[in-house]
Amino acid sequence: MRLHLIIDADDTLWENNIYFERAFDEFVEFLSHSSMTAREIRDVLDEIEAVNAKIHGYGSLNFGRNLKECYQHLAEREVRDDDLRKVMGFAERILDCPMEVIDGVPETLEYLSLRHDLTLFTKGHPEEQKLKVDRSGLAVFFHHTAIVREKDTSAYRNLVDERRLDPDRTWMIGNSPKSDVNPALEAGLNAVFVPHAHTWVLEKEEIRPGEGRLLVVERFEDLRQHF
């Protein structure tokens, strides 16, 4: 029986957050705060990102805006325009990073696409996400691609309605409890949790029971054993 598999992109199909972490490391070194640890600086940035994501969304350009705001808040020296441009440059360079498709993903997508209907479901800046999809070379395996501002319960319900999916035969596959697993389960879909060592801290939360079934696998390629 063919199923509907909705699949996340960032940190499920290819590496993403590691580039943001590297940009943050550069930021910490440039800030060179006299007393705050990297963890304490990260906590401040997390608070800024949590607020701004609701207003501006996600992506490297918005991350640059968040770094700029964090620098203005924490800098112990005069804030110069050149410094702000340098700080935002840490984030802008993320777009130039090479695509690192996660091991086993292309082969697994090819296998799944022959057996089921695949939808790529991602959030973020539309043009930035489209660029990553194109550069990954994985678009050929998907029947449909949807890019939304936020992947919450209503977004999943809208996708189900638009694609006329049967919730009982639909599975969401991703690395984020906040954006992939919990809202899908709450929308009545089934979900597969594929943990990633570098999942963004704001995407982490406890997985909550929902109407659908939950499956946990160690690696994306393990999906071939279940679907």
Q: Domain containing 78 — which CATH number?
A: 1.10.150
User: Are residue 132 and residue 212 in the same domain, yes or no?
Assistant: yes
Tokens standing for 58?
């996600």
pLDDT tens-digit series, residues 30-61: 999 999 999 999 999 999 999 998 888 788 88
Tokens standing for 34?
């006299």
Long-range contacts of 128-135 (CB under 8 A, 24+ apart): 128/59, 128/60, 128/61, 128/95, 129/9, 129/59, 131/95, 132/9, 132/10, 132/14, 132/16, 132/99, 133/9, 135/99
Q: Burial, 56: exposed, middle or buried (Cβ in 10 Å; 0-12, 13-18, 19+)? A: middle
Amino acid identity of residue 7, one-letter, is I
User: Are residue 59 and residue 140 in the same domain, yes or no?
Assistant: no
Residue ending a domain, among 96, 123, 145, is 96
* Total number of domains in the chain: 2
**Cβ atoms of 86 and 111 closer than 8 Å:** no
Mean residue pLDDT across the chain: 94
Residue ending a domain, among 45, 77, 96, is 96
pLDDT for 1:
84
Residue 84 DSSP class? H
Residue ending a domain, among 55, 76, 96, is 96
pLDDT for 202:
85
User: Are residue 85 and residue 153 in the same domain, yes or no?
Assistant: no
**Interatomic CA distance for residues 178 and 188, integer angstroms:** 15
Instruction: Give Cα separations from 45 to 24, 41, 51, 74, 116 (angstroms).
Output: 9, 6, 10, 10, 40
Q: Please list, in sequence order, all residues whose beta carbon lies within 8 angstroms of the beta carbon of residue 114, skipping any fewer than 6 positions away.
A: none
| Strand-pair partners of 208 | none
Residue range of the domain that includes 46: 17-96
pLDDT for 54:
82
Mean pLDDT to the nearest integer, 54-76: 90
Pick the residue with more confidence: 95 or 204? 204
Mean pLDDT to the nearest integer, 205-213: 91
**Cβ atoms of 151 and 121 closer than 8 Å:** yes
Tokens standing for 89?
């440059």
User: Are residue 110 and residue 208 in the same domain, yes or no?
Assistant: yes
